[in-house]
Amino acid sequence: LQQQEEGSLRKSALCIHVATSLGVECGQGRLTSALLLTGEQQGKMEKGDVNAWDGVLAHLETLEMRAHEAAMKQQEKELHQEKLARLKARVKELRLQRDELRAKVDLQEKKQLEKEGAMSDPAQASPKTVLQWKIKSLQGMLQVFYVTGISGKLTRQGVCFCISTAYEGTYLDSYYLDLLTKSEVQIYRHSVPSFIPLEQIAKQYLQTDIRRFLSVLSDHLNAYVGRRYQADQLQEHFSDQIKGTLQRNSLCNLLIFNYNVSSKSKTFPFNVRLLYGDLCRSLPTEVIVSCTSDTPASLTETATAHSDLFHHVPLHKAFRSFSSTGETMD
Amino acid sequence: MDAAVAEYIRRTVQKIPRSEIKVMLQKWGFLPEQQLQTINFDQLKRNIVRDVFLLCEKIPGNIKEAAVLDMIYNHAYPNKRTWEVYHLIATGKESEYFDIIDFKKKIKRKLRSSLGNVTINFREYEDNAVWIRIAWGAPYRKPNQYKPSYVVYHSYTPYVFISSSVHSSNFPLLCQALLAATGSHDMRAMQLQGHCLNSLKDTVFKRDKNIQTYSEPLQEYSVEPESDLRLVQENRKTQQKIQRMNQQFFGDGPLPKLEYAQYKLETMFKSNPKQDVLHQKEPFRCLVKFSSPDLLESVKSLAATSMVDAPLSPLLTSIPCRPRNLFRIKEK
């Protein structure tokens, strides 16, 4: 700015040191400097005093204005530089953060790859590994759906549902239903066993509420599979306690068998008749435990206790509790 | 053992293919194992039969035990008989709990009270099927063991599969017994007959064991690309159309194995008045029968092999979904 001032003033006839004083003080003591100016230049201004005086003043004014403008510009520039510096600092900060996060992600990926035994550098993850990861996550998703029990996929003509059944943590059979959805929903084919009342359930719910249909059917199938599992477990693990054969039917909603109850080192046969009235439940609705006439009275209590047990506890668990409490049924 | 019973056993064993005789005798369990070991099953069939006959003669047994062998044979070879499917119409008051003992009791009671002389055998199988063998007699006649009726029933289904050697006058009695035992109100013939019992069951129960494989996403039907570049498919579009039509009517999976489709026409003969074939205005009676070892597959391939112009008549294509194979066509 000083140089500017000097440059402009060199064009005029005034002394240099006036310019410097003017430039430095920036408007302060203009008059004094003006007076200095006029004082020093008295000799030169003897002729045409008023004109020269006017000219000088005007000139001084312009100089003043210029100085002011220059000062403003300087201020702006400084402000601008400050802002720039601030933004630069912010950018640096953000860049630092981003680098940190990137490092974290890389670390995670590395850990993941290490877990799976892959030794590839995550920064060089090929499309193949990405695809493999995608397939794996999709398979995981499908497995999650399988766990819910009802899954389905679209077919050309409609939908194919798969109802997976389980009982107390053991996965059992899966049943498939192929539905047509062209005009109205119809069952095209299925692998549901013939004793499950599929037509009745379909008549009630298939057209109006598919979700309810699937849920009811799933309940039926799960309950059937549960009952069958209990009967199978009984035949497999407790055949020594069962006398004769276990009578059951296809739907496993009627079970009749005899088992031995011992008391005071003598065994007495109990006859059990289990009726599962509710097809959506795997526990019986009616239990009839009967014993022969020569059974001691003390065992009648046991009979009622057993009857109660069969009402609330799955068959194989009930029998397990018998054998764990030992043969002492006194 | 009674000579008649022994003779019956001999004739039953005669029916069994030579390679299966040992297995079936073991399943039957009438002859003890050490006696079975004494028979040489590599000799000529008539010698095997003679040996079995001689052994069985010495063991006391009745006709009911002998009939079990017949049941085993028929269960292994059900396709030798013709089965008819009947639909049971429920009352809504039948028992919720299918008790096999109760079922057997009811059938025996009904048949014995009416006829007296019947041989009834029951056998249950893994697939929840109950097989009933009934040999019919009369008040003063012993049951004819060589013409028994077989009934196959799956509990909780409204269908019965009946195979009668002779469509005798005892059929209504059999129906009554079945209605009483299953707690149904009426029985109606489904007009579905065939030799392949499993196929009939699959059709009627709409079951498909291979459904898991069919639920895979279907690929677009396309004619196979020719392996030999010198051959050019001229009618690719027509072939695709036929394939689509087949897929629509017959579906993807294996079709039920039916042996014939019978169409009984009771329509008026429409002729040129000049020809004067029939003076009376009565329906022209005609029976059209399509026979084949596997009828539906052959119908499906009719259009595919261009023997018949597509589309096929709905009379033929409606068989899989109805399901029936005996039709009566009347005047509209």
The chain A residue lying nearest B206, using CA atoms, is: A189
Distance from the Cα of A153 to chain B's closest Cα (Å) equals 8
Judged against a pLDDT cut of 90, whether residue B73 lies above it is answered with: yes
Predicted TM-score (pTM) above 0.90: no
Confidence of residue B76 (pLDDT cuts 50, 70, 90): very high
- The residue-averaged pLDDT of B283-312 equals 79
- Would you call B156 and A197 a contact, using CB atoms and an 8 Å cutoff? yes
Cα A273 from Cα A254, distance rounded (Å): 7
- pLDDT tens-place string over residues B120-136: 999 998 888 999 999 98
What is the dihedral angle through the alpha carbons of B24, B26, B31, B34, rounded to the nearest 10 degrees? 140
| Sequence-distant (≥ 6) Cβ neighbours of residue A136 within 8 angstroms | none
Judged against a pLDDT cut of 50, whether residue A324 lies above it is answered with: yes
Distances (CA, A) of B147 to A167, B17, B25, B76, B238: 47, 20, 22, 18, 52
Contact (Cβ atoms closer than 8 angstroms) between residue A5 and residue A69 = no
Distance from the Cα of B159 to chain A's closest Cα (Å) equals 10
Contact (Cβ atoms closer than 8 angstroms) between residue B308 and residue B245 = no
Confidence of residue A117 (pLDDT cuts 50, 70, 90): low
The predicted pLDDT at position B253 comes to: 67
Residues of B in contact with A156 (CB under 8 A): 218
**Size of chain B in residues:** 332
The predicted pLDDT at position B213 comes to: 57
- The residue-averaged pLDDT of A74-87 equals 93
- Would you call A176 and B100 a contact, using CB atoms and an 8 Å cutoff? no
| Chain centre to alpha carbon of residue A70 | 61
Domains and CATH numbers, chain B: 3-76 (no CATH), 80-195 (3.30.160), 235-330 (3.10.20)
Mutate to test the interface with A, among B206, B243, B247, B252 (most CBs of A within 10 A): B206
Q: What does R_g of chain A's alpha carbons equal in angstroms?
A: 50
- The residue-averaged pLDDT of B62-81 equals 92
Distance from the Cα of B111 to chain A's closest Cα (Å) equals 24
The predicted pLDDT at position A32 comes to: 47
The predicted pLDDT at position A153 comes to: 80
**Sheet strands side by side (includes A186-190):** A150-154, A158-167, A170-180, A186-190
The predicted pLDDT at position B303 comes to: 72
The predicted pLDDT at position B104 comes to: 93
Higher pLDDT, B60 or B278: B60
- pLDDT tens-place string over residues B102-115: 999 999 999 888 88
Higher pLDDT, B138 or B213: B138
- Would you call B156 and A275 a contact, using CB atoms and an 8 Å cutoff? no
Which region among A76-80, B69-73, B92-96, B212-216 has the lowest average model confidence (pLDDT)? B212-216
The answer to whether B126 faces chain A, any CB pair under 8 Å, is no
Judged against a pLDDT cut of 60, whether residue B217 lies above it is answered with: no
The predicted pLDDT at position A18 comes to: 47
**Interhelix angle B171-182/B100-114, nearest 10 degrees:** 150
- Would you call B207 and A189 a contact, using CB atoms and an 8 Å cutoff? yes
Higher pLDDT, B227 or A301: A301
The predicted pLDDT at position B247 comes to: 75
Distance from the Cα of A154 to chain B's closest Cα (Å) equals 8
**Size of chain A in residues:** 330
The predicted pLDDT at position A8 comes to: 53
Task: For chain B, positions 234-273, list CB contacts with chain A under 8 A.
Answer: 251, 253
- Would you call B155 and A188 a contact, using CB atoms and an 8 Å cutoff? no
The answer to whether B101 faces chain A, any CB pair under 8 Å, is yes
Judged against a pLDDT cut of 80, whether residue A30 lies above it is answered with: no
| Sequence-distant (≥ 6) Cβ neighbours of residue B27 within 8 angstroms | B72
Cα A112 from Cα A134, distance rounded (Å): 14
Confidence of residue B274 (pLDDT cuts 50, 70, 90): low
Task: For chain B, positions 287-326, list CB contacts with chain A under 8 A.
Answer: none
Residues of B in contact with A192 (CB under 8 A): 207
The answer to whether B156 faces chain A, any CB pair under 8 Å, is yes
Whole-number average pLDDT of chain B = 82
The predicted pLDDT at position B290 comes to: 87
- Identity of residue A318: A
- pLDDT tens-place string over residues A203-255: 988 888 888 898 899 999 999 999 999 999 988 888 888 888 888 888 888 99
The chain A residue lying nearest B208, using CA atoms, is: A191
- pLDDT tens-place string over residues A136-151: 888 787 777 667 778 8
CB environment B217-232: b (16+ within 10 A), e (fewer) = eeeeeeeeeeeeeeee
Pick from A235-249, B233-247, B264-278 the range whose average pLDDT is largest: A235-249
Judged against a pLDDT cut of 80, whether residue B202 lies above it is answered with: yes
| Sequence-distant (≥ 6) Cβ neighbours of residue B182 within 8 angstroms | B88, B94, B103, B153, B160
The predicted pLDDT at position B277 comes to: 60
Confidence of residue B224 (pLDDT cuts 50, 70, 90): low
The predicted pLDDT at position A28 comes to: 47
Mutate to test the interface with A, among B205, B215, B220 (most CBs of A within 10 A): B215
The predicted pLDDT at position B120 comes to: 92
Cα A86 from Cα A92, distance rounded (Å): 10
- CB-nearest to B211 from A189, A249, A250 is A189
Cα A193 from Cα A175, distance rounded (Å): 9
The predicted pLDDT at position B161 comes to: 93
Judged against a pLDDT cut of 60, whether residue B268 lies above it is answered with: yes
Q: What residues of chain A have any CB closer than 8 angstroms to a CB in chain B?
A: 153, 155-156, 160, 162, 174, 176, 178, 187-197, 247, 249-251, 253-254, 275, 277
Residues of B in contact with A189 (CB under 8 A): 206-208, 211, 214, 251, 253
Residues of A in contact with B206 (CB under 8 A): 187, 189-190
Judged against a pLDDT cut of 90, whether residue B70 lies above it is answered with: yes
The predicted pLDDT at position A227 comes to: 92
Judged against a pLDDT cut of 80, whether residue A29 lies above it is answered with: no
- Would you call A250 and B101 a contact, using CB atoms and an 8 Å cutoff? no
- DSSP per-residue string spanning A124-141: G--HHHHHHHHHHHHHHH
Distances (CA, A) of B211 to A182, A200, A290: 20, 22, 45
Whole-number average pLDDT of chain A = 79
Distance from the Cα of B154 to chain A's closest Cα (Å) equals 8
Cα B303 from Cα B306, distance rounded (Å): 5
